[in-house]
């Protein structure tokens, strides 16, 4: 996927900032960089050179211009250069949107229809429409792209953001001569937003287009998640900027090994397999219950689970004396040191304790048989109105 080609622009210095968490760098990545600042003829010449050197690899030319005539021109130049497809950048949330392009297009379904219509007049190779996440309902622009004849969609482009403030300069990073601007946010921290939007479009029968998934894909598992939620391809950018191109080989190898372990022969064997499991809250079973279970053989006694549950959840973990409660935890345990134990009567299965536990697999969530018939919120409200059920008691 080529960096977006258009009329050459002037970029600023500096351009990037990041969200770091403890020792983990670039959990989120912010940029105020615009499209390619190189001449279109340079980009198209290099596309032709790459296609000549690697004829079996797909090259997609990302484009962003303004008028109908310019779209026709750039679409033709992309095809003439040997590009296998084009991607229309309707998502850039900074700089270009102020010029009536980028997310300014992606946020307006009518404009999407118009410009995609212009492109389809001249396109002889597949057209992918890249959508902005800076919108309430991603399916609306996706439907507009479909209506105008697009061959596929890609999502998500970057999210409006300010990742950090330089407290000495009293200006957000990155700054340009003491000033800054909102940028585009991506990287691993953006993946949940991307997955949600990919699933929304994959589940919408009015969209019904191939989807190229974008947003925080950093390893094979991320790629598998995008595909399971309906993506037909996955794009990687921030992870390559962080770790280099070699990471893609690792991702392909890891994905292949995982597919072998599951018996999947092709991507299509599991693509979209998780789409239908996402539903409205009102359709969830109120009778279903899970509780936490602590494996005391692997518990290190840090009590992070107790702190989290006590201060941030439902006070469903007790600190107990193992000896007084008949628990033999083996050698290496200091006498008198209390350990956490789940109070199943109070546990609501929120998962918080398992999320904060630093020991993998120490705290697991177990299904509990409640003996109750499945009932959704909508069914509960209807039956309650008819007097067929008693109000569900509040949690003690």
Asked if the model's pLDDT at residue 335 lies above 90, the reply is: no
Residue 60 has pLDDT above 60, yes or no: yes
pLDDT reading at 159 higher than 80: yes
pLDDT surpasses 60 at 95: no
* Dihedral pair phi/psi, residue 128, rounded to 5°: -110, 135
Q: Which pLDDT score is estimated for 336?
A: 67
State residue 189 phi and psi, 5-degree precision: -70, -15
308 token code pair: 């989290």
Domains observed in the chain = 16-277 (3.20.20.70), 281-385 (3.30.70.20)
More reliable by pLDDT, 14 or 394: 14
Apex CA 321: angle with CA 315 and CA 322, to 5°? 110
pLDDT at res. 217: 97
Label residue 48 by pLDDT band (50, 70, 90). very high
Which pLDDT score, from 0 to 100, does residue 144 have? Answer: 96
Q: What does residue 341 show for φ and ψ, rounded to 5 degrees?
A: -140, 135
Enter the DSSP assignment of 285: B
* CB contact set of 80 (below 8 Å; sequence gap of 6+): 44
**pLDDT grade, residue 105 (50/70/90)?**
confident
- State whether the Cα torsion 191-97-4-197 is positive or negative: positive
Distance CA 42, CA 358 (A): 51
Asked if 130 and 151 touch (Cβ cutoff 8 Å), the reply is no
- 3-state percent breakdown (helix, strand, coil) of the chain, nearest 5: 35, 20, 45
pLDDT score for 396: 65
Among the ranges given (94-103, 142-151, 269-278), the one the predictor scored with the smallest mean pLDDT: 94-103
Residues 351-372 have pLDDT tens digits of 999 999 999 999 999 999 999 8
How far the first Cα of the chain sits from its last, in Å, is 55
Q: Check residue 188 and give its pLDDT.
A: 97
As a dihedral over the C-alpha atoms of residue 94, residue 98, residue 103, residue 104, rounded to 10 degrees, the angle is 170
What is residue 392's predicted lDDT score, i.e. its pLDDT?
80
pLDDT band at residue 332 using 50, 70 and 90 as cut-offs: low
pLDDT tens, residue by residue, 64-82 = 998 999 999 999 999 999 9
C-alpha–C-alpha distance, residues 262 and 269, integer Å:
10
- pLDDT of residue 330 exceeding 90, the answer is no
Q: Determine the 3-state secondary structure of 378 from DSSP.
A: helix
User: What is the average pLDDT across 49-75?
Assistant: 96
Residue 98 and residue 160: Cα distance in Å, rounded? 13
Say which residue the tokens 């970057």 belong to: 158
Query: Looking at the annotation, which residues are catalytic?
Result: 92
Q: Is the pLDDT of residue 89 over 60?
A: yes
Based on its alpha-carbon atoms, the radius of gyration of the chain, rounded to whole angstroms, reads: 26
Q: Which of 55-59, 102-106, 255-259, 275-279 has the lowest mean pLDDT?
A: 102-106
Exposed, middle or buried, 150 (CB in 10 Å: 0-12/13-18/19+)?
A: buried
| Mean pLDDT within 234-260 | 97
Rounded to two decimals, what is the model's pTM?
Answer: 0.91
């Amino acid at each position: 996927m080529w960096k977006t080609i258009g009329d050459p622009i002037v970029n600023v210095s500096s351009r990037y900032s990041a969200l770091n968490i403890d020792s983990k760098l670039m959990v989120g990545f912010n940029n105020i960089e615009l499209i390619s600042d190189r001449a279109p003829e340079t980009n198209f010449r290099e596309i032709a050179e790459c296609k000549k050197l690697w004829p079996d690899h797909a090259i997609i030319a990302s484009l962003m211009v303004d008028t109908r005539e310019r779209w026709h021109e750039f679409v033709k130049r992309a095809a003439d250069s040997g590009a296998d497809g084009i991607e229309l950048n309707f998502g850039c949330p900074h700089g270009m949107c102020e010029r009536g392009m980028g997310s300014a297009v992606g946020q307006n379904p009518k404009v999407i229809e118009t410009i995609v219509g212009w492109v389809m007049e001249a396109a002889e190779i597949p057209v992918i429409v890249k959508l902005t996440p800076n919108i309430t309902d991603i399916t609306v622009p996706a439907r507009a792209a479909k209506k105008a004849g697009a061959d596929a969609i890609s999502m998500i482009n970057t999210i409006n953001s300010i990742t950090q403030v330089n407290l000495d300069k009293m200006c957000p990073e990155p700054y340009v001569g003491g000033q800054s601007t909102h940028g585009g946010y991506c990287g691993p921290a953006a993946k949940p937003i991307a997955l949600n939007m990919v699933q929304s479009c994959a589940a919408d029968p009015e969209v019904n287009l191939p989807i190229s998934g974008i947003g925080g894909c950093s390893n094979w598992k991320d790629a598998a998640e995008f595909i399971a939620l309906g993506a037909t391809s996955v794009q990687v950018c921030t992870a390559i900027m962080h770790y280099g191109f070699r990471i893609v080989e690792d991702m392909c190898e890891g994905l292949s090994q995982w597919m072998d372990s599951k018996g999947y022969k092709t991507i299509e064997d599991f693509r979209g397999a998780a789409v239908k499991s996402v539903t409205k809250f009102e359709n969830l079973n109120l009778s279903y219950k899970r509780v936490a279970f602590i494996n005391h053989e692997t518990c290190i006694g840090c009590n992070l689970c107790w702190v989290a549950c006590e201060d941030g959840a439902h006070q469903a973990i007790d600190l107990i004396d193992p000896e007084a409660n008949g628990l033999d935890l083996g050698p290496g345990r200091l006498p008198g040191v209390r350990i956490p134990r789940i109070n199943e009567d109070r546990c609501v299965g929120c998962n918080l304790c398992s999320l904060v536990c630093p020991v993998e697999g120490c705290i697991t969530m177990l299904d509990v048989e409640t003996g109750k018939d499945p009932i959704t919120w909508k069914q509960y409200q209807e039956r309650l109105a008819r007097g067929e059920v008693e109000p569900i008691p509040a949690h003690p």
